[in-house]
């Protein structure tokens, strides 16, 4: 996996395929391996840039909360290093928060926006308290506690399905510090409705029909905020449609990318 030095911190990322560049941020608490099915199906036509968030996957250890703006700034440094002016930017759940943070940092770098099972709003007080409790539990007990708490809600087919086991393996690559830092970073994210309302480029919003974490109403709200955004609901999927229903997801993604 290539590495880029960003202000003294190593950013690990995958750079796969050939064609128009597509930067995708993974969900919490996974890593860039979450996009294997997209790389396999589409890398002959698109170039996928897939960073690992600090403390997750091979991401460098975090120092303080992993704020969404930091993830976005790391990715912008990567685009600079690769000489890419603008790319399609997207992500799943936390990766969607990071995409909106990148849009806030520099909309001129966003050729198209792909928001998957995510939401535009910030956390309320109860949500922030839940994240802090989860961060402390992760520090005490490690990734297994997060797997137990989250996995049943991530995939419609359940934790014992093939995709459930794949997702659990991705989660187990996280460090306790990385899990806590990402939870604390997500708790700090601002509301991004203003950013979406100002964005004037092409946008695709995707959601798993059975997502109980960021349900269809949240996706609809984002699609309504962005002028001309297209909403796609993936049947048979919960929070991770790119992994749960890769064929349906890839078809929707490719239709969007091919029209840009
Ligand atoms: C994710 O899948 O990235 C998380 O569920 C996002 C969140 O906790 O808000």
In the chain, DSSP assigns E strands to 3-6, 9-16, 21-25, 47-51, 87-92, 110-116, 203-208, 230-234
> Is any atom of ligand 1 closer than 6 Å to the C-beta of 179?
no
State residue 193's pLDDT score. Answer: 98
Q: Which atom of ligand 1 is nearest to the CA of 119?
A: 9
110 lines ligand 1 (CB under 6 A): no
Mean pLDDT value across residues 220-232: 97
The residues with which 233 forms a beta bridge, in sequence order, are 207
Mutate to test the pocket of ligand 1, among 92, 212, 213 (most ligand atoms within 8 A of CB): 213
d(CA 178, ligand 1 centre) in Å: 14
Does ligand 1 have an atom closer than 6 angstroms to the CB of 94? yes
**Could you give the number of structural domains in the chain?**
1
Residue 83 alpha carbon to ligand 1 centre in Å: 31
Taking the CB of residue 3, how many other CB atoms lie within 10 A of it?
11
Give 85-138 pLDDT, tens digit per residue.
999 999 999 999 999 999 999 999 999 999 999 999 999 999 999 999 999 999
What is the rounded distance in angstroms from the CA atom of residue 192 to the CA atom of residue 209? 23
The answer to whether residue 171 sits within a structural domain is no
CA distances from 134 to 141, 172, 179, 183 (A): 10, 15, 9, 7
88 domain-assigned? yes
User: 54-84: per-residue pLDDT in tens?
Assistant: 889 888 888 899 999 999 999 999 999 999 9
Residue 176 has pLDDT above 90, yes or no: yes
Helix crossing, 94-105 with 68-82: angle to 10°? 70
Q: Using pLDDT thresholds of 50, 70 and 90, give the confidence band for residue 8.
A: confident
Q: Which residues contact 40 (CB under 8 A, 6 or more apart)?
A: none
CB 250 within 8 A of CB 42: yes
Contacts of 242 (CB under 8 A, 6+ apart): 34, 35, 37, 38, 92, 116, 249, 250, 253
Q: How many angstroms is it from 84 CA to the middle of ligand 1?
A: 28
Report the CATH number at residue 30.
Answer: 3.40.50.1820
Question: What pTM value is reported for the model?
Answer: 0.98
Q: Is residue 220 part of a domain?
A: yes
Burial class (CB in 10 A: 0-12, 13-18, 19+), 107: middle
Q: Is residue 152 part of a domain?
A: no
- For 180-204, write each residue's pLDDT tens digit: 999 999 999 999 999 999 999 999 9
Q: Which of 221, 226, 227, 186 is nearest to 93 (CA)?
A: 186
In a domain, 84, yes or no: yes
Whether 196 is in a domain gets the answer yes
Q: Evaluate whether residue 168 is within a structural domain.
A: no
- Return the half-sphere exposure (C-beta side, CA atoms, 13 A cut-off) of residue 231: 19
Instruction: Give the structural domain span for 64.
Output: 3-121+190-258
What size, in residues, is the chain?
Answer: 260
User: How far, in Å, from the CA of 96 to the mean position of ligand 1?
Assistant: 9
Distance 171 CA to ligand 1 centre (A): 12
Q: Is residue 195 part of a domain?
A: yes
> Any residues with CB less than 8 A from the CB of 232 and at least 6 apart, and which?
204, 205, 206, 207, 252
Provide the pairing of β-strand 110-116 with 203-208. Answer: parallel
């Amino acid at each position: 996996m290539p590495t880029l030095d960003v202000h003294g911190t190593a950013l690990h990322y995958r750079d796969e395929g050939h064609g128009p560049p597509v930067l995708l941020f993974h969900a919490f608490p996974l890593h860039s391996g979450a996009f294997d099915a997209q790389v396999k199906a589409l890398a002959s036509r698109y170039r996928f840039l897939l960073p690992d968030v600090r403390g997750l996957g091979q991401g460098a250890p975090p120092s303080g909360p992993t704020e969404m703006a930091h993830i976005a700034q790391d990715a912008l440094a990567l685009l600079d290093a690769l000489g890419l002016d603008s790319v399609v930017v997207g992500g799943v759940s936390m990766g969607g928060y990071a995409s909106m943070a990148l849009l806030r940092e520099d909309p001129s770098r966003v050729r198209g926006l792909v928001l998957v099972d995510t939401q535009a709003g910030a956390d309320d007080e109860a949500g922030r308290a839940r994240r802090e409790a989860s961060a402390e539990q992760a520090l005490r007990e490690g990734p297994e506690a997060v797997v137990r708490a989250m996995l049943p809600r991530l995939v419609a087919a359940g934790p014992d399905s093939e995709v459930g086991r794949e997702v659990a393996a991705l989660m187990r690559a996280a460090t306790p510090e990385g899990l806590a830092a990402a939870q604390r970073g997500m708790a700090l994210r601002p509301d991004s409705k203003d950013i979406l309302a100002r964005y004037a480029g092409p946008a695709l919003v995707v959601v798993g029909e059975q997502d109980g974490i960021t349900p269809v109403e949240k996706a609809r709200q984002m699609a309504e905020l962005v002028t001309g955004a297209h909403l796609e609901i993936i049947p048979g999927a919960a929070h991770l449609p790119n992994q749960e229903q890769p064929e349906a997801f890839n078809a929707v993604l490719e239709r969007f990318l091919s029209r840009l």
